[in-house]
Amino acid sequence: MKIGILKETQKGERRVAISPNIAKQLIEKGFELIVEDDAGFESSFKNSDYEAFGAKIEKRAVVFKESKILIKINPFDEEDLKLIDESHILMSQLFHKSNPELIKLIAAKGATAFSMDAIPRISRAQDMDILSSQSNLAGYKAVILGAYEMTKIFPLMMTAAGTITPSRVLIYGVGVAGLQAIATAKRLGAVVEATDIRMETKEQTESLGAKFISVENTGEKSEGGYAQVASEDYVRRQKEAVNKSLFQADLVITTAMVPGRKSPVLITEEQVKQMKNGAVIIDLAAAQGGNCELSKMNKTIIEHGVKIIGTTIAPESVSTNASDLYAKNMFNFINHLTENNEFKWELEEEITDDTLIVQNGTIRKNGNTK
């Protein structure tokens, strides 16, 4: 079976879905790989790196024409859809719950599509979970970006001229990105606090040496490893509990997202007004509206003396590592779905069922279903 690796076209994207090392492993399993010309260039992978393992390098149109499976990181766009037909099996992030029009267009082509962002949060799918592997890098890079943007250093430093007190870091959301941000900020010597709607994250936070800001839970819960939308009462009480730490923080990193929905607003303009002059907010949820009311996607603004950076932080900023991890996730996913280089189509199996969004032009999953 032929697998086509496409170059990412989304603005700012530097990753590639399959790295040369994973290309080698797929070829060793009997797959044929066709890689779009310079698909890995922004991740520091040359065409010759792929060719050394037996992959073919072709122009984009040829990759579409000759491949059965087409792999990307970001959703297929309108130009891609012009080259897709009923013979194709697509694998990428599709964000099907919030992107119904794309799903309809794929179905209209008669194609089949798997969504990598729909991998279930279960133990046997951990090595396929692209959201976790990429969020891990995002959490790390958010702290590094914060260090660059702050006018202070993280660690306690005692000098002949006096003592520098450690910076204070506050993290909203203790998922994969949040935990990595906590660990990175602690390694750099900051005083770290964190908060999350999921009380089960308290132990994880404290195990990394950070303080967990508790808010009494009155029924809020997580589903499939993700936090769900909190009640208005909980949001009010969380603000009250977190305000003291927020107003003292030098760096705030927000990571709270709800799959398929707008990101919850956790920091209002009124709260920003009360923050320290020179504080920095890194809003990782900006692509879905932002956790800070003032955030603007892909922009750095200064409001009320606070620098607010709206971004996904994207793992593309460390594209070599991000591509390697994404590619390993893809390899495990393909391995799970196939046997002897052919699809098993086990439609009742949980991983297959959750990720197979469109099959032969029929929409199996949409925003109103799991």
Tens-digit pLDDT profile for residues 303-360: 999 999 998 766 888 999 999 999 999 999 999 999 999 999 999 999 999 999 999 9
From the candidates 25, 127, 226, 228, which is the catalytic residue?
226
Task: Report which of 303, 299, 290, 295 is spatially closest to residue 262, judged by C-alpha positions.
Answer: 290
Q: 297 to each of 144, 162, 229, 282, 314, how far by Cα in Å?
A: 19, 39, 22, 11, 12
CATH no. for 2-118+319-363: 3.40.50.720
Is residue 222's pLDDT more than 70?
no
Give the active site residue among 67, 92, 93, 129. Answer: 129
> Is residue 129 annotated as a catalytic residue, yes or no?
yes
For 164, the 3-state DSSP assignment is: strand
Sign of CA dihedral 172, 122, 100, 85: positive
Q: Select which of 10, 44, 98, 126 is catalytic.
A: 126
Does the structure show a pLDDT above 50 at 369?
no
Instruction: Report the C-alpha gap between 83 and 55 in whole angstroms.
Output: 21
Per-residue pLDDT reduced to its tens digit, 265-276: 999 999 999 999
Query: Given 43, 67, 92, 132, which residue is catalytic?
Result: 132
What is d(CA 333, CA 318) in angstroms, rounded to the nearest whole number?
A: 23
- 121 is an active site residue: yes
The 3-state DSSP class for residue 102 equals: helix
Q: Where on the phi/psi map is residue 298: left (φ > 0), alpha (ψ -120 to 50), or beta? A: left
| C-beta of residue 35 within 8 angstroms of C-beta of residue 47 | yes
- Confidence at residue 224, expressed as pLDDT on a 0 to 100 scale: 52
Q: Nearest 5 degrees, angle CA 208-CA 212-CA 217?
A: 135
Among the listed residues 25, 60, 121, 248, the single catalytic one is 121
Same fold flag, 2-118+319-363 and 137-313: yes
Tell me the per-residue pLDDT of 130-150, one tens digit each, with 9 for 90 and over: 999 999 999 999 999 999 999
Q: How many CB atoms lie within 10 A of CB 193?
A: 22
For residue 14, indicate whether it is catalytic: no
Among the four given CATH numbers 3.40.190.10, 3.40.50.1110, 3.40.50.720, 1.20.1090.10, the one describing domain 137-313: 3.40.50.720
The percent of residues in the chain predicted with pLDDT above 90, rounded, is: 81
> Distance between CA atoms of 95 and 99, rounded to whole angstroms?
6
Distance in angstroms (rounded) separating the CA atoms of residues 313 and 315: 6
DSSP 306-349: EEEEE----GGGGHHHHHHHHHHHHHHHHHHHEETTEE---TTS
Reference 241, options 211, 221, 216; nearest CA is: 216
Is position 126 annotated as part of the catalytic site?
A: yes
* Catalytic (active site) residue 353: no
Express each pLDDT in 72-111 by its tens digit: 999 999 999 999 999 999 999 998 988 899 999 999 999 9
Closest-CA residue to 91 (of 324, 356, 321): 356
Domain ranges of the chain: 2-118+319-363, 137-313
